[in-house]
Amino acid sequence: MYIFKNMGNNKISYQAELSELYRTGKTIGRSGAVVNATGLSSINNLLTIRNIILDKKPRKTLEVGLAYGGSAVTMLRSLSDVHPDTEFAHSAIDPGQESFDFAGLEIVGRIGLEQKFHFYGGSSDLILPKLTEEGKRYDIIYIDGYHIFENVFIDMFYSIKILEIGGILLFDDCADKHVKKVIRFINRNLSGFMQEFSLDKYQPAKSLIKKMANKMGYRQICAFKKTADLPRVWDAPFSNF
């Protein structure tokens, strides 16, 4: 029944809800209608995120972009596994749940972890500044929202502000030209605050094709570790990106 049960060395078992979502590409919305779930986070991404959580044992996580709830369920289930008797919480930002028939919220409810879940129904460029003002802090943030440069840039900027020192910032679709541009900015201008690191130890065994793609610069998911708090000094050097 479980789509992720035995994948090489990544022996993980998920609720049937998540397995069914990925097996069929469909889910049930709030209206009771069947919803076609397109644009799901890849299984590779979910395995990577889960393995990071199992290793780092964060207590507070956040994602930009809920959609059909695949990554939210992964993060909630993984947090529950590492903190079965103690506090943890996962939050998600998404302005478009209505257009998905609230499918992401529904699947979180069906796995029984809604009490550990906080949802912000709005655009991330408005929600993230509010979370910053409220002093919220997170151990892991996964950016998988609107993939336009300015949106990704704003998501990145505020995510760094609310990320704990030592926390991890993850980007989906890192080969996308908009996302890739933001990543170049971080590497060339924020290296004193964010250090990119390899996810090889957290990812499933790669095929030869995937290894070749990685060598050519294609990455679906990438990660940074926060080493210091913003802001930069007013006369900080600037490198083109």
For residues 79-97, one letter each, b for 16 or more C-beta atoms within 10 angstroms of the residue's C-beta and e for the rest, the string is bbeebeeeebbbbbbbbeb
Higher pLDDT, 8 or 176: 176
Q: What residues have CB less than 8 Å from 4, skipping those under 6 apart?
A: 10, 12, 13, 14, 18, 19, 43, 46, 47
What digits encode the pLDDT tens for the residues 146-193?
999 999 999 999 999 999 999 999 999 999 999 999 999 999 999 999
Q: What residues have CB less than 8 Å from 33, skipping those under 6 apart?
A: 101
Q: What is the mean pLDDT of residues 37-41?
A: 89
At 30 the three-state DSSP class reads coil
User: What are phi and psi for residue 24, nearest 5 degrees?
Assistant: -100, -20
Helix (H) or strand (E) holding 50: helix 43-56
Output the CA–CA distances (angstroms, integers) from residue 147 to 136, 143, 188, 216, 241, in the order listed: 24, 9, 21, 22, 18
Tokens found for residue 189: 């201008």
Higher pLDDT, 214 or 125: 125
- Strand ordering across the sheet containing 221-226: 117-120, 89-93, 60-64, 138-143, 163-172, 221-226, 194-197
CA–CA separation, 122 and 146 (whole Å): 12
At 131 the three-state DSSP class reads helix
Domain at 39-226: CATH architecture: 3-Layer(aba) Sandwich (3.40)
pTM for this prediction: 0.90
Higher pLDDT, 239 or 12: 239
Q: What is the number of other CB atoms lying within 10 angstroms of the CB of residue 5?
A: 12
Helix (H) or strand (E) holding 14: none
Q: What is the pLDDT of residue 206?
A: 60
Beta strands 163-172 and 138-143 are parallel
CA–CA separation, 236 and 19 (whole Å): 48
What digits encode the pLDDT tens for the residues 75-98?
999 999 999 989 999 999 999 999
pLDDT(214) > 70: no
Can you give the residue ranges of every domain in the chain? 39-226
